[in-house]
Amino acid sequence: MKVHHMALTLDVDFDKQQLQGSVNLLFNRITTSTQLILDGRRLNIASITDTSGRQLEFTQQHVNELQGEMIIIEVGSELTEVVVNYYTSKDAQGLQWLTPAQTLGKQSPYLFSQSQPVNARSWIPLQDTPKARITFSASIKVNNGLRAVMSAANSAEMPRDGLFNFEMEKPIPTHLLALAVGDLAYGEVSERCAIYTEPAMLEKALKEFEDTESMIVAAESLLGPYPWGRYDMIVLPPSFPFGGMENPRLAFITPTLIAGDKSLVSTVAHELAHSWTGNLVSNATWRDLWLNEGFTTYFTNRLVEKIYGKEQAELEWVIEYGRLQEEMQSMPLASQTLPANVQDQDANDSFNRFTYDKASMFVHELESRLGREAFDKFLFDYVEHFKFEAITTEDFVKYAKQTLLTQHSSVISESELMIWVYGEGLPEWFIGPTSTSLDKVKFALKQFGEGVNAAKLNVTNWRVHHWQYFITQLPFTLSQVQLKDLDMAFDFTNSQNAELACDWFRVAIKNQYEIVLPKVAEFLTNIGRAKFVKPLYSELLIAGYRTQATTIFEQARAGYHPSLQVQLDLIFKD
* 406 in the same domain as 313: yes
Of the residues 223, 250, 275, which one is the last residue of a structural domain? 275
User: Is 483 within a domain?
Assistant: yes
User: Is 232 within a domain?
Assistant: yes
Q: Is 247 exposed, middle or buried (0-12, 13-18, 19+ CB in 10 A)?
A: buried
Per-residue pLDDT of the chain (574 residues; tens, 9 = 90+): 999 999 999 999 999 999 999 999 999 998 889 999 999 999 999 999 999 999 999 999 999 988 999 999 999 999 999 999 999 999 899 999 999 999 999 999 999 999 999 999 999 999 999 999 999 999 999 988 999 999 999 999 999 899 999 999 999 999 999 999 999 999 999 999 999 999 999 999 999 999 999 999 999 999 999 999 999 999 999 999 999 999 999 999 999 999 999 999 999 999 999 999 999 999 999 999 999 999 999 999 999 999 999 999 999 999 999 999 999 999 999 999 999 988 667 898 999 999 999 999 999 999 999 999 999 999 999 999 999 999 999 999 999 999 999 999 999 999 999 999 999 999 999 999 999 999 999 999 999 999 999 999 999 999 999 999 999 999 999 999 999 999 999 999 999 999 999 999 999 999 999 999 999 999 999 999 999 999 999 999 999 999 999 999 999 999 999 989 999 999 998 7
* 413 in the same domain as 287: yes
pLDDT at 342 (0 to 100): 80
- Count of structural domains, the chain: 4
* 374 in the same domain as 226: no
* 26 in the same domain as 161: yes
* 479 in the same domain as 518: yes
547 half-sphere exposure, CB direction, 13 A CA radius: 0
pLDDT at 508 (0 to 100): 98
Bridge partner residues of 2 (DSSP):
28
* 121 in the same domain as 24: yes
* 451 in the same domain as 363: no
Question: What counts of helices (H) and strands (E) characterise the chain?
Answer: 19, 20
* 293 in the same domain as 208: no
User: Is 179 within a domain?
Assistant: no
User: Is 296 within a domain?
Assistant: yes
* 569 in the same domain as 447: yes
pLDDT at 341 (0 to 100): 82
Q: What is the DSSP string of 49-106?
A: E-TT--B--EEEEEEETTTEEEEEEE-TTT--EEEEEEE--TT-TTEEEE-GGGSSSS
Burial letters 105-142, b for 16+ CB under 10 A, else e: eeebbbbbbbbbbbbbbbbbbbbbbbbbbbbbbbebbb
* 313 in the same domain as 233: no
Of the residues 255, 275, 295, which one is the last residue of a structural domain? 275
The catalytically annotated residue of 69, 198, 271, 499 is: 271
The alpha carbons of the chain give a radius of gyration, in whole angstroms, of 24
Say whether 518 sits in a helix, a strand or coil. Answer: helix
- How far does CA 32 lie from the centroid of its chain? 38
8-state DSSP, 357: I
- 154, 26 Cβ separation under 8 angstroms: no
* 311 in the same domain as 261: no
The catalytically annotated residue of 87, 298, 321, 356 is: 356
User: Is 368 within a domain?
Assistant: yes
User: Catalytic: 356?
Assistant: yes
User: Catalytic: 271?
Assistant: yes
| CATH number, residue 288 | 1.10.390.10
Q: Distance between CA atoms of 95 and 181, rounded to whole angstroms?
A: 11
Of the residues 412, 434, 456, which one is the last residue of a structural domain? 434
| CATH number, residue 21 | 2.60.40.1730
User: Is 371 within a domain?
Assistant: yes
pLDDT at 87 (0 to 100): 98
User: Is 375 within a domain?
Assistant: yes
* 75 in the same domain as 196: no
Domain that holds residue 387: 283-434
User: Is 468 within a domain?
Assistant: yes
